[in-house]
Structure 1
Amino acid sequence: MLTRKGIPSRMRVCTNILMEERIMTKEELRDMNEKYGDYFTKTFMDTDNGQHMDWKEQVLLDLKAGKKPPEIPHYNDVFDKENPMPENLADLFVK
């Protein structure tokens, strides 16, 4: 069924949904990370690789809202860069 503008009503609804769920650009994520990110997001989150951009956006929005990392879903999943720290800190002292 066509609407008065000649666009099917189903297509108009889908377009509205896509516009509401827009993911930030890499530049917007980078700027947001600089303003609201914590040490770990600034150090280990790669905003340029394009993976899990929706999770990264949500993590930064939650940090902006004042949530603590344990309260944020996918907080640990957005770190792309390798962590130089070993899992066991005692390994730092072994020669």
Structure 2
Amino acid sequence: MPHNMNHNTHTYLSLAFSPSSPFFSSPASLGSKHPGLTYEGHVGELTDVHLYSIPKGEWLQKRDGMLRGLEGAEGVMHVEEQVPKQRMRRGGDEL
């Protein structure tokens, strides 16, 4: 099921965990170590990649420190800020 994301109010981060990470089996617990971070769920069918949100204003204030903390967290293999992409209409696809 797609996530209901509002990029005007929140920043979204995808995090990939190794199977040995304490967050692999309990991804929502990461929010207790990083206040303001809310667990949104799995990314698609991937069991090791999870989506988190944080209010945009809070993200702007804490971005660098939070990225360092998340990238240094036990078993976190990858952190990526999700940036909305503009959809483009292809030429010739008109009905």
- Establish whether TM, by shorter chain, passes 0.5: no
Range of TM-score over shorter length = under 0.3
User: Based on CA coordinates, which of the two structures has the bigger radius of gyration?
Assistant: 1
Higher strand fraction (1 or 2): 2
Please give the TM-score of this superposition, normalised by the length of structure 1: 0.26
More relative contact order in 1 or in 2 (CA 8 Å, sep 6+)?
A: 2
Please give the TM-score of this superposition, normalised by the length of structure 2: 0.26
